[in-house]
Amino acid sequence: MPDTNTLALPVLPLSTGVVLPGMVVTIAAESADATAAIEAAETTAGQLLLVPRVDGGYAKVGTLAQIENSGDLPGGGRGVVVRGLSRAVIGAGLPTAGRALWVNADPVVEPPPSERDIELAREYRAVVESILEQRGGGRIAGALREISEPGQIADTAGYWPDLTMEQRVQLLETVDVTERLELVLGWAREALAEMTLKQRVQHEVDEGLERSQREYLLRQQLAAIRKELGEDDDIVAEYRERIAAAGLPEAVREAAEKEVSRLERMGEQNPEHGWVRTWLDTILELPWNVRSEETRDLDRAREVLDADHTGLSDPKERILEYLAVRKLRAERGLDEADGPGGRRGGAILALVGPPGVGKTSLGESVARATGRTFVRVALGGVRDEAEIRGHRRTYVGAQPGRIVRALKEAGTMNPVFLLDEVDKVGSDWRGDPASALLEVLDPAQNHTFRDHYLEVDLDLSDVLFIATANVLDTIPPPLLDRLEVIELDGYTEVEKVDIARDHLLPRQLAQAGLRPDEVEVTDAAIAAIISDYTREAGVRGLERQLGKVVRKAATAIASGTATPPLRIDADDLVGYLGRRKVFHEEAAQRTAVPGVATGLAVTGAGGDVLFVEASVADGEPGLTLTGQLGDVMKESAQIALSYVRAHAAELGLDASTLDRRRVHLHVPAGAIPKDGPSAGVTMTTALVSLLSGRPVRADVGMTGEVTLTGRVLQIGGVKQKLLAAHRAGLRRIILPERNEADLDEVPEAIRDDLDITLASDVRQVLEVALEPPAAAQAA
């Protein structure tokens, strides 16, 4: 607290430091103000006020000091030794008496210490001793223990060399002892934390350096010991032994030995050391001269294929042809590598068909039939070219492509290689994986396939490649040209019953934990599931429905509400699967009014039935198209309208209707994109039906491209479309006459159950598809 005895004292300004109570310092009178203050102090019994200067001004609190001694300094000039007595709060200035600056100052008398002050002083002393212990200041710590006054202990912070001028002034101006102790305690804690962190970091750095140096010395000693013992089991020697035993092709062996020589010259600290070792490991893990012993027994191969899959005669015949050729070449002593460029007789097949027809599982069956290793590579959604050809070794984390990794996984150079979903390979700024497949799937090139990571030739000509796809449209033409396409168009109802009985039902029973003799699903029940609960080209939906039936049966048996054996017939299905889904009546319901025709189409899910609806309304003459149609399909609609307009009189139609009103063509299921020219006859028939008032027969389905002159042109996907028509309950089918040869691919049972009309002109289509005029009027 300030003393009531106000003193008039000369001011000695301090510009580079702060003097606190208890300090004894020597001050050189380097300025006129300092000299004047020292001279004026002779009139005040040697007392003066030491005030720091901060930012061009004076501090609010100064130090009342006593001059202990004065004299000339060795370097010239006058100096004084002063002792700080107490803090003094600066008051008003006084009139100048001589050259010195005089002010009123109230000395501060510190009150008796409180319990809080004593506690803070004890804690501050402990923190400072910890700092001094780390810095090696034992004598200073001893001197600090001799100070007992809390205020004096706090003022010892003024001796710290790390304090700034601003912090020293703040310490001087903090008159309250408790606040002063809290201030210096905070500074001491920050200094101790910073010192501890620096020491820990330095310790970790020193420890890491020491460990690295120790490891280096130990490795050098180990190498010297091995050399003295005559041992040659280092990494380089190990790689050379592995290369010699691997039986690598000549070019690959030379590349590997070159990399081993590089490895020998570089130290382990070199970043490329690990890259070279990884490359060598990859090269040596590939099965360069390992081949599976192929089974060439045609009868056994046929038994395996027939046991695994029902139907699929075309792919089975192609696999048997492949094995027959291999067998003849082996029996007649023909070297398989005698082809141009040393190529072997590999095969590249493409199984194309809707989902669920068994494309992927057929690849596994082919591997079993041929006795080869099976490996599958999923290409759906792959957009990076490096996934096929690998990364350059210059990249961090580089690795070979999927082809090389799959060969390493197979462990042989002649596996059955399934490239699944090749039609779903994408391309973007990272590259075009489909283009990278051109070399892999080209028999003229793949015997020298070069992965970007390996950078050596890899012979893929002995691999049996099988690609799968749902559609051919999305496969780039250059890639498609390299594939031998085998179409899997779906199953007939009879084939589905056999598949369900022989394959699907046993699998679902096993998954449900049931024995084959506990649940029996009759052929009639399976046929009812196929016709009333599913509509698909494959059998995935059928297997799901069978699984649902089997699970409900398992629940009944497990709960005790049913006793095995449990027999499930067609009449019982409602209790297991609910109400049947009505499919077959859909065509009759939709075509009951004029202007609706039933067409046939092929989608990624197989064949399907689509409806074309036509209507006219008041408005600007023209054509409106809806249903998310592609450009080709829109052109077909324009051609159909132009044909009807041009031949209206011949067809008995009122052409003025088209001139006065707007025609609207809609293909339902508007969320699904549709394209292709094969809906041309369907659109023409729908327009003629609308304008003539004659409905389209309910059991008629049609497909074909139409021209402006009315010619009906050839289309694709005949087998899938006829299977879809048969599933939908259509019995009269109109096809282009030029597709007559494609009927040989359709199962005989389906052909016998359908009334197929071959048309070369759209007039023939209208004659078969439309109800007679009399029937239309009666309706």
What residues are labeled active site? 678, 721
Token pair 């490359």: residue: 279
Q: Cα(21)–Cα(83) distance, rounded to whole angstroms?
A: 8
Q: Can you tell me the distance from the alpha carbon of 78 to that of 30, in angstroms, rounded to the nearest whole number? A: 8
**Distance from C-alpha of 37 to C-alpha of 75, rounded to nearest angstrom:** 21
Q: What gap in Å lies between CA 412 and CA 425, rounded to an integer?
A: 26
Q: Can you spell out the DSSP letters for 84-113?
A: EEEEEEEEEE---BTTB-EEEEEEBPPPPP
Phi, psi of 189 (to 5 degrees): -65, -40
Of 356, 728, 727, 313, the closest CA to residue 542 belongs to 356
Take residue 381 and report the two structure tokens written for it: 């959604």
CB 669 within 8 A of CB 609: no
Cα–Cα distance for residue pair 706/683, rounded to 1 Å? 9
Phi and psi (nearest 5°) for 186?
-65, -45
Strands 416-420 and 464-469: parallel
The C-alpha atoms of residue 461 and residue 459 are separated, in whole angstroms, by 6
CA dist 721 and 750 (Å) reads 11
Amino acid letter, residue 241: E
Residue from 712, 690, 692 nearest 596 by CA: 690
Comparing CA positions, the residue from 461, 471, 480, 389 lying closest to residue 432 is: 389
**Residue whose tokens read 């003024």:** 158
Residue type, 596: V
Q: Is 682 helix (H, G, I), strand (E, B) or coil?
A: helix
Q: How many alpha carbons lie under 13 Å from residue 473 in its C-beta half-sphere?
A: 9
The CA–CA distances, whole Å, from 748 to 211, 365, 469, 494, 717 equal 81, 26, 26, 12, 17
Distances in Å between the alpha carbon of 530 and those of 125, 356, 418? 91, 14, 30
In the DSSP assignment, the letter for residue 694 is: P
d(CA 550, CA 520): 9
Beta strands in 718-776 (DSSP E): 732-736, 755-759
Other C-beta atoms lying within 10 Å of the C-beta of residue 261? 11
Please choose, from the candidates 620, 509, 598, the residue with its C-alpha nearest in 3D space to the C-alpha of residue 557. Answer: 509
Enter the DSSP assignment of 178.
H
User: Considering only CA atoms, which of 742, 743, 702, 747 is closest in space to residue 492?
Assistant: 747
What does R_g of the chain's alpha carbons equal in angstroms? 49
- Provide the 8-state DSSP code for 355: T
